[in-house]
Amino acid sequence: MSIGYFDELDIVAVVGALERALQACGHELTPGQGVAAVEAEFMKSAA
């Protein structure tokens, strides 16, 4: 089974959307924290 093609930008967008959805449902979180964590991991693998 394949989920198709995706790249780093797609993953960042999904994490950002998930953060917004969680906030809309009342979860307390720091906006952008998940996106920053994903970008940091991508930077590690790029080095």
- Confidence tier at 3 by pLDDT (50, 70, 90): confident
pLDDT in tens, 16-44: 999 999 999 999 999 999 999 999 999 99
* pLDDT above 70 coverage of the chain, percent: 96
pTM check: above 0.95: no
Q: Alpha helices of 1-47 — where are they, by DSSP H?
A: 8-24, 33-46
Alpha-carbon separation of residue 4 from 1, 7, 10, 28, 29 (angstroms): 9, 10, 12, 32, 30
Mean pLDDT, range 3-18, rounded to an integer: 93
On the question of pLDDT at 46 being above 80, the answer is no
